[in-house]
Amino acid sequence: MPAVKGDGMRGLAVFISDIRNCKSKEAELKRINKELANIRSKFKEDPSNKARLLECLEGILNKAQDAPKSKKVQHSNAKNAVLFEAIALIIHMDSEPNLLVRACNQLGAFLTHRETNLRYLALESMCLLATSEFSHEAVKKHQETIITSLKTERDVSVRQRAVDLLYAMCDRTNAGDIVQEMLAYLETADYSIREEMVLKVAILAEKYATDYTWYVDVILKLIRIAGDYVSEEVWYRVIQIVVNREDVQGYAAKTVFEALQRPACHENMVKVGGYILGEFGNLIAGDQRSAPQVQFDLLHSKYHLCSINTRCLLLTTYVKFCNLFPEIKHVIQELSLQRAQQKPDSGLYQEQTFARLGMFYGNKTPSQFTDFKPVVVCPGALSVQLQAQAKPIDASVGAMAQVQQLINFVCVQEFNRMPILQISFNYTQTAGGAARFDKFFYLPIFINKFFEPTDMTSETFFARWKALGIPSQESQKIFTAKHPIDTAAVNAKLTGVGAKLLVDVDPNPDNFVCAGIIHTQTQQIGTLIRLEPNKQAKVQSLGCTSFALLFDDIPKEMHRADQDRYDSFAQAQVQVTNKIYEMLGRPVFMFCPTEYCETRAHPRIADSEYLDTVGRFLHSEIYVMWTGRSVAVKESISGLLLNPNNKHETNLMAIATTSQWRHAVADADGMNTEDNASLKVYCPEEALNKALADWEKLFNTETAEVPTVKPQNYQEGLENPDIPLPSESAAVSRSGSVAMDSDLTVPPDVSAEVALPVMAVDEMVHAVMGDPNLQDATEPDLVNSLVPEYNTCTVMGTPIGANSHKNSHEEGVTEDPEAAKTEAAEMTTTRAAHLQITAADLRKLLDIFYLPFQYGPQVEKLLTTLVYLLNNAHKGDRGCSPTTIDGLRQAIADMYQFVNEFNGLYWKIMNCPNKPLLSELLPYVWDAHGTLSLIEGLSHWIAAGNMRRPLKARVNTWTNTTFEDEAWCGVCPARGFSVDVTGLLANSDGLLDLLRNRNPLPMSIRTFHVRTVTVEDTINFHHLFGNGEPPAESNEELFDHHFGPYTFSPTEPHFGFISYEEWVEEDAQGLRYPHCAGTGIKNVDTYLRNIWPDYQAMMMEKYKETIPDEKDRKAKINLWKPHGVSSDITQRYPSRIHLHAKFCTDDSVAMKRIVQTLATVLSYSGSAGVHVVCEPDDYQKISFLAKLQFNLIPTKRADGLEIYGYRFCSYVHSSPSDSADEDEEMA
């Protein structure tokens, strides 16, 4: 290198001086980078140099493949040294795919070389190549060789490099194989690399898990093979994933239970098993092999072999078992008492005025929560009575993660209110937009947490009781018990509150007395409690003269104590019933047996031991309730009992008509006019009209009395939620300042009894119906964290208000107050007249729901018309609309008329002023509305001439069954309108299951219509696409992209449906907006092969002017082409469904009806199954499909898309095949 002279020397001196004068490391690095940039600027890069370099590298790779010219080791070493340096340079450049692939292949040859150093260097270099996108696939080709090297290599350092390479080259395509091989090798792996292998396997299993059951299997196998090397982070993580994923919880509980049954079980496996079984052991408790007692015995058999930390975890699991499995609670309590007796002095110090609450905040979404702020607030006077201090936590909660926060409370004074936890954070919505969460929750902190039990004698108790005579020092409450007295349960509840149960203190042995001290920072308050059951107060003294004991719908199992006392289940019921009957003085008494009808008798009526015992030993004067066919035998019965259902508001018609029949002396049928005039006879039509008049008034009358969900008592840690006391009981408590005794005992765990808030049904309905005043509320909703979900379906969404269609400038106009008041009165009058429910409307409701064993004439006509359509719509020429045939045209018109009339009735019922009646009719009319939307969509499809195949449908309703079948039985009726219609429409078992799918979905009570997509719908497509922003494509392009490919063929049926929301305004005009849509392909293979090329050519011609460049035009249109799938999928699921939903839609039910309609018409067209293509991160659609029982089809696709399929099984009513002869016959 030439010497630095002149200006260069002076510049170097200045640079060195600057470096020495730098005051920090950052300043020094900044100065060096500046000088390097200056040097680079003076030496410009010459493109020819790179070409020469690449040529040189290619030459080295070529020569490396030549046969060696010398057998000397030095020659080979020098050649390999040059080769590895060249490969290192190629890897460093990482810009030439061809050279990277060649280098990878060259290194692959060294994997089997006899020289250990060469194998090591080859594996090390390939680790770097595996991280390059250009050479990753090339490295994967050597997977088998690398695995062989891992298994057979003697040198541990080479095996280490093989493990690193397998980890680097792993992706979704080979993760299963690599993880399996690494697990297999882990059993014999060198101890020095086991810990690293365990961590790598755990990372790969979680990163590339497509099925989390596989991930659970991998981690449990890791613990079994190399438990000593599984760190806490690994088994913490598997528990966190299981907790956050409901679909894997049952499998994890079952798998870990089986793992714990192995003779040799690692302690880490016990930790995982203890936590998972403690949380989700109830999911497998139904199997006798994993019953609660078996789970407990299995875990406890590992207890003595574990460390202190693991024993603590197991004890926590036992506490959870007490809540999960009350039947083994006594076993766990006995075990705990044994431990307490062994170590009587092991109690820890407890500050009586101090309480701590642990909160866990979980994020089950795929995005992070930011600006996370949980704030504890003590409102009003509670801020002085109770001090709260929350431990600070991070302001962000990661995706699928949870954080813990401890909140400390100090009781300053007695209090009777609960503190509030305010939680606010930012989150990302499913559609991608940002949103803010801000809610309040009550915290379960009660005064009894600071309650310490204290013991005292009888004399002390009553002396202090008499001393507390000031009214402010005592409180008394008389309440009626719901159940007979249970001494053990009452004792447990009183002790759980924190009081000391005093035995043999009260002279009356039936009374319960307790004592305790409430600790606050200002004073200590002594509290005395006395619970006095009043067994003398009987219902009979209130004037009740008739009684009944109902043993129906209960399990045929007796308590352990009853098994020792009674010989059989029937004998226990008979003895109890006879004894009560005698005690009451033999009044009018009814008995409902557990086997109360022919179908309940086991094995049959003649051979039932239960019925035989009841018949022989029950008192002869006691009436036995019986239902079923045999009640029609007049000689065998003493009378009839009307049993209304739980929804009492819906019983008016049945009770009213039955009452009229009861007071009539004869039926009108068969009697002449003179008899009708002289006698009180029963005429069904007259009785119906009379009852309808009363029911019509009830519908149109605003009711202030709103049924509510009754408050429930929740007592943590106890089996029974209520203290069972007979008749009337008095609970009296007195409190005052008392002196502290020196021998006070440490209180047990305190349980809290919380009265749940009342939720009015009227509020729920108004929230759904929409109140514009509620939209401007500034205060967030106050949510009680203890309130349970009241329904399996969540009612969501607020409909458009009466004036929501007005322009913004119209809303800002100031109107005359008098004119506005007059206009509002006129609108109210118009709206009331429009929403008035008439007797004709109610007739339709009765025809659908209210006849016990048949439908009314309107529904019978509907079903007959539907059968006629299904059996005859295929007639006529191909593509000819059935509306050209008189009979079919009239049938389709009748279908439209019935659907539109019922939708009008549905909207009236949703707006009826009688909210209690609405709340009870809502599930039925809502279900019928959804079923009719399916019929509506099918009718539109048939009217368009798409039915090409005849069906052999027939009506099968209650009129064709025995009288044993009732209209609505249970939560899911065995028969009924929706069930009968779906049974008529379904032509296969699989389609029937899909149409009757009752999995709960988010719902609204909006009115929606389903019909086929037409070109006229294009003006509204901006409502369906764009994610809240104006769509990039025009309405015409949206139609050609999403609907045109499936509705243009003149020879094939069209499969496209759209759902419209309808809001009925005061002026009786309907505002309609597209809500969701769906399209279908009958056979994907046939479509892509025969139909798509024609459509592509048509679109190329259509957009020739708007997109002049042919290449760009073809590229755009190719984006519209449906994705192809493998032939294995199309053989079982030949048809495809595409779904399109409105941005931020909250009604999944309309989309469900679209899917059901598409599946029905595709099945009618000969399809054996359908599939849907989903993006892997489209969790909302995937969850929706899972609710419809669509299954993930295992497939490996380069684009990462997932396929979900639904299979139509064996046929219920036949339809002809697609043979040419039958096609000709149909034509």
In a domain, 889, yes or no: no
C-alpha torsion sign, points 670, 672, 676, 680: negative
pLDDT confidence tier of residue 629, bands split at 50, 70 and 90: low
At residue 1052, the pLDDT reads: 79
Mean pLDDT of 331-351: 65
Q: What is the CA radius of gyration of the chain?
A: 39
> What was the pLDDT predicted at 743?
36
Is residue 973 predicted with pLDDT exceeding 60? no
Residues 6 or more apart whose CB falls under 8 angstroms from that of 695 comprise 652, 653, 656, 842
For residue 412, what pLDDT band results from cuts at 50, 70 and 90? very high
Is 223 within a domain?
Answer: yes
Q: Where does a domain end: 755, 773, 808?
A: 755
819 falls in which pLDDT band (50, 70, 90)?
low
CB count in 10 Å sphere of residue 437: 12
Taking CA 1202 as the corner, what is the angle to CA 1196 and CA 1204, rounded to the nearest 5 degrees? 115
pLDDT in tens, 95-106: 788 888 888 888
Q: Quick one: pLDDT band at residue 827, thresholds 50, 70, 90?
A: low
| 1015 and 1069 share one domain | yes
Angle between helix 915-943 and 1148-1164 (nearest 10): 30
Longest dimension (CA), the chain: 140
- Secondary structure of residue 738 in the 3-state scheme: coil
Residue that wins the pLDDT comparison between 1022 and 495 = 495
* pLDDT: which is higher, 737 or 651: 651
Does residue 71 surpass a pLDDT of 60?
Answer: yes
Instruction: Assess whether pLDDT exceeds 60 at residue 467.
Output: yes
pLDDT band with cut points at 50, 70 and 90 for residue 537: low
Task: Say if residues 643 and 631 touch (Cβ distance below 8 Å).
Answer: no
Q: Is the pLDDT of residue 1219 over 60?
A: no
pLDDT beyond 90 at 1111: no
Number of domains in the chain: 6
SS in 3 state form for 284-303?
CCCCHHHCHHHHHHHHHCCH
> The domain spanning residue 392 has which CATH number?
2.60.40.1230
Q: Cα separation of 294 and 1148, whole Å?
A: 42
Question: For 1091, which DSSP code?
Answer: I
Average pLDDT, the chain: 77
Q: How far is CA 1194 from CA 217, 1110, 1188, in A?
A: 19, 38, 18
DSSP per-residue letters across 913-965: S-HHHHHHHHHHHHHHHHHHHHHHHHHHHHHTT---S-------SGGGS-TTS
Average the pLDDT over 1108-1134 and give the result.
88
Q: What is the CATH number of the domain that holds 110?
A: 1.25.10.10
| 113 and 194 within one domain | yes
pLDDT for the residue numbered 851: 72
The residue with tokens 């095949």 is 1217
Give the count of beta carbons closer than 10 Å to the beta carbon of residue 1131.
11
- CA 106 to chain centroid: 53
pLDDT tens digits, 508-536: 788 888 999 999 988 888 888 888 876 65
What angle separates helix 886-910 from helix 915-943, to the nearest 10 degrees?
A: 160
Highest averaged pLDDT of the listed ranges 347-356, 871-880, 918-927, 1030-1039 = 918-927
| Cβ neighbours of residue 572 closer than 8 Å, sequence gap 6 or more | 558, 562, 565, 566
Three-state secondary structure call for residue 1099:
helix
Distance between CA atoms of residues 944 and 1015, nearest Å = 13
Asked whether residue 1035 carries a pLDDT value surpassing 70, the answer given is yes
> Quick one: 248 and 370 in the same domain?
no
Q: How confident is the model at residue 1074 (pLDDT cuts 50, 70, 90)?
A: confident
The whole-number pLDDT of residue 644 equals 80
Residues 515, 561 within the same domain = no
Enumerate residues 6+ apart whose C-beta is below 8 A from 61. Answer: 83, 86, 99, 102, 103, 106
What's at 353, amino acid-wise? Answer: T
Lowest-pLDDT choice from 112-126, 305-319, 842-856, 903-917: 842-856
Question: What is the number of other CB atoms lying within 10 angstroms of the CB of residue 1183?
Answer: 11
pLDDT tens-digit readout, 687-731: 888 988 888 888 888 875 444 433 333 333 333 333 333 333 344
Answer whether residue 962 shows pLDDT above 70. no
| Distance, CA of 448 to chain centre | 35
Question: Residue 274 falls within a domain, yes or no?
Answer: yes
Closest CA to 353 of 601, 525, 219: 525
Among 872, 544, 933, 530, residue whose Cα is nearest residue 734 = 530
pLDDT tens track for 176-186 = 888 888 888 88
1159 in any annotated domain = yes
Distance CA 28, CA 245 (A): 51
Name 1019's Cβ contacts closer than 8 Å, sequence gap at least 6.
1035
Task: Please answer whether residues 621 and 580 qualify as being in contact, where contact means their C-beta atoms are separated by less than 8 angstroms.
Answer: no
Mean pLDDT of 80-86: 82
* Domain contains 142: yes
Asked if the model's pLDDT at residue 491 lies above 90, the reply is no
pLDDT interval class at 823 (50, 70, 90): low
Count how many residues are written for the chain: 1227
Residue 451's SS3 state is: strand
Sign of CA dihedral 792, 793, 795, 796: positive
Domain annotation covers residue 405 = yes
% of the chain with per-residue pLDDT over 90 = 16
Statement to judge: residues 61 and 119 lie in one domain: yes
pLDDT at residue 622 tops 80: yes
Name the residue with higher pLDDT: 931 or 670: 931
Quick one: how far is CA 1120 from the chain centroid?
33
pLDDT bin (cut points 50, 70, 90) of residue 92 is confident
Q: Residue 1190 carries which DSSP code?
A: -
pLDDT score for 1226: 30
Of the candidates 412, 445, 478, which is a domain's last residue? 445
Instruction: Using the predicted structure, report yes or no on whether residue 265 has a pLDDT greater than 80.
Output: yes
Burial of residue 986 (CB within 10 Å: 0-12, 13-18, 19+) is buried
* 118-132, 953-967, 1033-1047 — most confident range: 118-132
Please give the Cα distance from 976 to 969 (Å, whole number): 9
State the average pLDDT over residues 649-670.
81
- pLDDT, position 1192: 92
What is the per-residue DSSP string for 366-377?
Answer: SS-BEEEEEEEE
Report which of residues 1070 and 251 the model is more confident about: 251
CA distances from residue 489 to 355, 498, 905, 1210 in whole angstroms, order as listed: 26, 15, 51, 54
Helix or strand (DSSP H, E) at 972: none
- The torsion angles phi and psi of 998, rounded to 5 degrees, stand at -120, 20
Distance from CA of residue 673 to its chain's centroid? 62
The answer to whether 577 and 591 are in contact (CB under 8 A) is yes
Span 42-46, average pLDDT: 68
Give pLDDT, residue 351. Answer: 75
Q: What SS3 class is residue 431?
A: coil
Angstrom CA distances, 213 to 172, 537, 1174, stand at 16, 59, 21
Q: What is the average pLDDT across 835-862? A: 82
pLDDT at 723: 31
602: tokens are 């086991």
Q: Note the pLDDT of residue 957.
A: 55
Structural domain includes residue 702: no
Token pair, residue 1186, equals 């899972």
pLDDT for 37 equals: 79
Residue 928 has pLDDT above 70, yes or no: yes
Percent with pLDDT over 70 in the chain:
77
Give the best-scoring range by mean pLDDT among 346-355, 455-464, 674-683, 714-723.
455-464
Distance CA 663, CA 832 (A): 37
Co-location of 1048 and 1112 in the same domain: yes
Same domain, 523 and 589: no
Which of 586, 607, 626 is at the close of a domain? 626
- Is pLDDT of 815 > 50? no
Distance CA 406, CA 429 (A): 29
CATH number for position 489 = 3.30.310.10
Strand partners, 373: 424
- Residues 733-781: tens digit of each pLDDT: 444 433 333 333 333 333 333 333 333 333 333 333 333 333 333 343 3
Position 820 pLDDT exceeds 60: no
| Pairing outcome for strands 1169-1174 and 1202-1207 | antiparallel
Alpha helices in 395-457 (DSSP H): none
pLDDT in tens, 127-152: 888 888 888 888 888 888 888 888 88
Same structural domain, 546 and 609: yes
Task: Give the pLDDT confidence score for residue 769 in this predicted structure.
Answer: 37
Name the residue among 1198, 887, 1148 with its Cα closest to residue 1001.
1148
Is residue 157 located within the same domain as residue 22?
Answer: no
Cα(91)–Cα(128) distance, rounded to whole angstroms? 7
Q: Which H, E and C letters describe 468-527, residue by residue? A: CCCHHHEEEEEEECCCCCCHHHHHHHHHHHCCEEECCCCCCCCCEEEEEEEECCCCEEEE
Q: Do residues 524 and 620 both lie within one domain?
A: no
Rounded CA separation 1100/1112 (Å):
10
Q: Which DSSP letter does residue 43 get?
A: S
Q: Which amino acid is at 222?
A: L
What's the CA gap between 756 and 723, in Å, rounded? 16
CB of 526 within 8 A of CB of 517? Answer: yes
State the pLDDT at residue 616. Answer: 92
Pair (24, 153) in one structural domain? no
Residue 739 belongs to what domain range?
A: 452-535+727-755
Q: What is the pLDDT, as a whole number, of residue 1207?
A: 92
* Rounded Cα distance, 200 and 178, in Å: 11
The answer to the question of residue 887 being in a domain is no
611 with 739, same domain: the answer is: no
